[in-house]
Amino acid sequence: MTLPGKKPMQGSAAAPALEVRDLTFTYPAGAAPVLDRASLVVPNGAFALLTGATGSGKSTLLRLAKPEIAPAGERAGEVLAFGADVRSFSPAESAATVGYVFQSPDNQIVCDTVWHEIAFGLENLGVPVDEMRRRVAETCNFFGMGPWFRAQTSELSGGQRQTLALAATLAMRPRLLLLDEPTSMLDPIAEKAFLGLLFRANRELGITVVVATHVPPSTCARRGFATTATATGCFAALTCGSFKEKCARSWEVTAPASRRCFRSRPASPARRRAA
């Protein structure tokens, strides 16, 4: 199934969905940069994992790709979405280009009812009423939300609330979807269902998906979701490389000038070491 409707085209269709060039970021009064000359490339149409321990800079990097929620601090370098600097987007262009799902849906859901939450972003974008109704209905059908379409958001389960946050974001038709630890608050069953929805959005709608997680890349790879993986946690340039062919063996991310940042075997996360 695909959700019809033409989306505004920002940047170049031939450019990577997300590109980070020599990004350095330090929080106010920070003793050291959280990100230091970090670089990565996520191809258009990929399902990518951004992995690393808590505090390694995953959330910071993703938030810097969404200027509306970017943290305050000292920054150098570029963050590009489809070849355009994300800071050059108007609010409407940003919504149509980059979507963001928070770790906790409580930080994202603002309306009392499910249907109004899906429509909320479209109302703020000034989408005509007829098109808005069509998008809300299509999104509800795509995610199987019919049985609880008119439910109160306060009555939803954790998995339903995270699904609603995802649906409300995708109703605005972004080309790139960023998610910060989206399954960390879900039980295993809800987690599997949510990852299945992400997989459908990636495969059937052609949306590029980038998920920040502390879970080893092999976990999602064994389920058939991830196609690429990138690690954070060292201050050097990182490039997102092919993961599908490597997931059964070793996973390695290296930096320029032969400086190795991470070398790990997904089947044994404890063996991960910094060179």
Mean pLDDT value of segment 141-153: 94
Q: Regarding predicted confidence, which is higher, 51 or 258?
A: 51
Which amino acid belongs to residue 251? W
pLDDT tens-digit series, residues 249-265: 222 222 233 222 322 33
CB 218 within 8 A of CB 267: yes
Query: What is the per-residue pLDDT for 257?
Result: 33
d(CA 44, CA 255): 22
Span 178-203, pLDDT tens digits:
999 998 888 888 888 888 899 899 99
Lowest mean pLDDT among 15-24, 79-88, 92-101, 229-238: 229-238
Q: Could you tell me what percent of the chain has a pLDDT over 70?
A: 73
Q: Can you tell me the distance from the alpha carbon of 18 to that of 23, in angstroms, rounded to the nearest whole number?
A: 13
What does pTM read for this prediction? 0.77
Say what the pLDDT of residue 215 is: 64
Q: What confidence score (pLDDT) does residue 192 get?
A: 86
What pLDDT digit, counting tens, does each position of 81-122 carry? 999 999 999 999 999 999 999 999 998 999 999 999 999 999
> Among 270, 267, 271, 236, which Cα is nearest to 254's?
236
C-alpha–C-alpha distance, residues 32 and 26, integer Å: 7
Q: What is the DSSP string of the chain?
A: -----PPP--S-TTS-SEEEEEEEEE-TT-SS-SEEEEEEEE-TT-EEEEE--TTSSHHHHHHHTSGGGPPSSEEEEEEEETTEEGGG--HHHHHHHEEEE-SSGGGT--SSBHHHHHHHHHHHTT--HHHHHHHHHHHHHHTT-GGGTTSBGGG--HHHHHHHHHHHHHTT--SEEEEESTTTTS-HHHHHHHHHHHHHHHHHH--EEEEEESS-HHHHHHTT--SEEEE-SSSS----EE-TTTTTS-EEEE-STT-EEEEE-TT-GGG-B--
